[in-house]
Each structure stands twice: as C-alpha cells, then as structure tokens.
Amino acid sequence: MNKARNERPLRIGVAGLGTVGQGVLRVLARNASLIQARCGRKLVVTHASIRDRNKRRDCDLNGVALLDSPLELVESEIDVVVELMGGLEPAERLIVSALKVGKSVVTANKALLAERGDIVIEAAERSGQALGFEAAVGGGIPVIQVLREGLAGNEVDSISGIINGTSNYILSRMTQEDLVFDEALAEAQKLGYAEANPSFDVEGTDAAHKLAILAAIAFGMPPSFTSILRESLDGVHLQDVHLAKELGYRIKPLGIAKRGNDGIELRVHPTLVPTHHPLAFVDGSLNAIRIHGDIVGQTVLIGAGAGAEPTASAVIADLIEIAKGRAPSLPLGQPINLLKTQPLLPLESAQSAFYLRLQLTDTPGALRALTTILAEQKISVEAILQKEPHEQKFATLALITSVTSESNYSRALNKILELPFTHGQTVRLRVEYFEDLK
C-alpha cells in the first residue's frame, strides 16, 4: 500500500445505529486524535443506514449521509461496512455483497458467524478483503485476537467462558441482592445488555453463538452452532444460588468447549464453579474466558462483555487494523477449506460432577436409600447439606456428586425419583472444577 493511500481517511459506513452503533460514533469522535495517531489516518463515518430517522440518537450525525436501506452501503463511496444490525438477513446479503465489491467488513454479528459463518468467511477469503469480528464475542475483551494470534502456537484443549453478560448479571444480582430472576432480567434490559429478544440470553442461544465461533478458531472446525447443548438459566432458583454458596460454589453461566480423545464437547449451561476459581469472582455484566492451551497452560481474560462502548472498543480495534492495512486475511486463522468437521461427543458421555437439590421425607432411611442408589452407580457424594424439615415433613437436601458421566448420573437420578421418599421439584446442575488451577 503506498503512503498517499495510507493517509487518506478510512471511509466507514455503519449499518444499524442502535446501542452499539451509537457507541461507535461517539467513541470515534471522542478519541479521534489518538486513533488518527495510531493509524496514521482518520477514521470517518460518512454513511449510516437507519430504520427510523425520527428516533433520538445519542451521537453526532452531522456530515453523515443517512440511508434508508443498509444494502445502499454496497454502492456507497466507502472503504468499510460496519454491520451492527444483527440477525441473519439482510446482514448476510450486505456482508457478502460488500466483500464482493472490494469493501472490508467489520461485524458484531455472532448469530450470522455461528450459523452461516462458512458463507461469509468464504466470501471474505475469496475477496481478499478483511472481515473483522472481534466484537462478536466477549464485548470489549480482545479474545478473537488472543485465540487466533496470541495463542496461535498452542493446541487448545478447553475453553470455559462467561460469555453472556445478561446471564451473568442476572445470576450476580440474584446472588448479591436476593433479586428474583425477572427483576434482575428487567435491570439487564434497562442497562442495554440484553439482546432484542432476551430469551436468546436466558436460554443460552447467544452464548452458544459465541462458543461456536471460539471453538471454530480453537479447534480448526467449521462453526457448529446447532449441535451445542443449551440449558436455560431459568431453571436456577434463588434457593439454589444460596445453597451453592453454602456449599462453596457460585453459579455461573458457562459456555464450555472441550477437546477429548473421542471428540469435542460443546455445551452452555448454568454451572457451579468453586468460589476460589477466578471465574467465580466475575460478576455483573462482566465476561470472562478461560482458555487452556498445551504450551501456555491457563489464560483467563476478564472484561466488559456487553454494552455500547465496550463493544464499540472491539469494533474500533478491527477498524484500526484495517486502516493500518494489517487486518488478518484468514478470519478463522486458517483457510476455511482446511477446517475439519470434528466429531461431537454425545451428551451422554460428557463427564462432570453434579449438584442435586431435592426434598426427602423426614423418615429414617431416606438418606440411606438415596446414597445407596448413587453408590450402585459408583457415584460418590463429595458434599452434602440438609436443611431442617419444614412443616415436620420434608427436608431439603443439596449435594455435590463425584465426577461421572451424564448417562450414569441420569440413571441414578431416575431411580432416586422413583423412591417413595422424594417429593416436589428436583434441580440438577453441572459442576466444573478446573483441576489445573486450585
């Protein structure tokens, strides 16, 4: 690239002026001189597509040409399209068309990358243009760069991450303030963390999208969203948050990707994490991603995982790399046609310890009956807590089992539920120990 070209302002078109889009414009204006000093050229938003021109926006739109359709950006005099609309269409059409006509693209669209990543990444590789997606995972945490470049020499064996800020916010508020689930969710929505459809946060879809992207880079596999096990957060009750705390754990929303001898495990679920582990301290809307590689060992990244300006920070990092002509040519770190579909381990063979809460009749032998069933399945009880019977009838029991397979645990649980002593609602959650860091 010649010097004259490098000094020309980088012309940016933004598709979508929602929370993050406005954040990008605000930060580009506020930090304009330091950004210019770092890239040797100005970053200027010249175009933006907006759905509703009358809506008040918290950023300066002076000098920005406003377009009714995002697809108009393809024909506009810009160098980069920043796609912040989310959703599959028209985002996919916009990105693929923009790449085809020689524009670079920056996107925060985790759903698109996780579900149609093969199409957009192939379009980027074919065009030779950059496709930056740092903002798609972990908000402001530069995890894509860390995984793709910083840890490029490692065989990554596992990733465990708090990668949905809304879920973490909900569980943190339940833990710290005794809020019920709905109150905490309403707060997260008000603060702008939640997706347009908050069930994406609560049911693990958003985290699964992000996990699919991380696993693709870490394990050299095509993004594999549909096969990720997802368990909703709304199965966690305030009582479980308290019991877990007494047992020495915090309940955290984890996305887990593990490489085993027979394949890869991909799952998203609320998880008990020992209170001494770094992930247990990560509260509010913060995200944290623990990556374990064969050379580096454990690396934990913690930072703001949601919100306008942290996400803008990641978008702008990609824009700066493009402005400097340094954006990576392979979005997933290796050519898409060399990625290998990996066998995914069926859930039944996933190994984990379990938390179980149930009610037992207050009668001699009830506990023995329960532990006998566990012993028959070679499951040992690692920790146990029983609350005094209420109304002289039922005792609430919470226990943590030894590590066992999902299928073994389910067999035991089914037998426990058939006992004449068990009553009412049963809650089961998985426990992660992270053996290498105690």
For the annotated catalytic residues, the residue numbers are 210
Residue number, 200 or 409, with CB nearest to ligand HSE: 200
Nearest-10 crossing angle of helices 366-376, 406-418: 150
139: closest CA among 321, 322, 307, 17? 307
Q: Which residues bind ligand HSE (CB under 6 A)?
A: 139, 164-166, 193-195, 201, 206, 305-306
192 torsion bin: left (phi>0), alpha (psi -120 to 50), beta (else):
left
Q: Which residue, among 407, 410, 418, has the nearest Cα to 370 in the 3D structure?
A: 418
CB of 166 to ligand HSE, least distance (A): 3
> What are φ and ψ of residue 293, in 5° steps?
-120, 160
Smallest distance from the beta carbon of 338 to ligand HSE, in angstroms?
29
Report in angstroms how near the CB of residue 208 gets to ligand HSE at its nearest.
Answer: 12
CB-wise, 186 or 344, nearer to ligand HSE? 186
- Select 305 or 331, whichever has its Cβ closest to ligand HSE: 305
Taking the CA atoms of residue 235, residue 170, residue 83 and residue 216 in that order, the dihedral angle to the nearest 10 degrees is: -50
Nearer to ligand HSE by C-beta: 123 or 312? 312
CA distance 324 to 7: 10
Report the distance separating Cα 42 and Cα 62, nearest Å.
Answer: 16
SS3 83: strand
CA distance 341 to 223: 9
* CA dist 393 → 26, 61, 254, 423 (Å): 60, 66, 36, 10
CA–CA dist 6, 180 (Å, integer): 54
Q: Between 48 and 141, whose beta carbon lies closer to ligand HSE?
A: 141
Task: Closer to ligand HSE by CB, 19 or 31: give it.
Answer: 19
Distance in Å, CB of 110 to ligand HSE, minimum: 7
Q: Is 326 exposed, middle or buried (0-12, 13-18, 19+ CB in 10 A)?
A: exposed
Output the smallest distance, CB 86 to ligand HSE, in A. 9
C-alpha to C-alpha distance for 24 and 35, rounded to whole angstroms: 13
First to last CA, the chain: 50
To ligand HSE, the closest distance from the beta carbon of 416 in angstroms equals 35
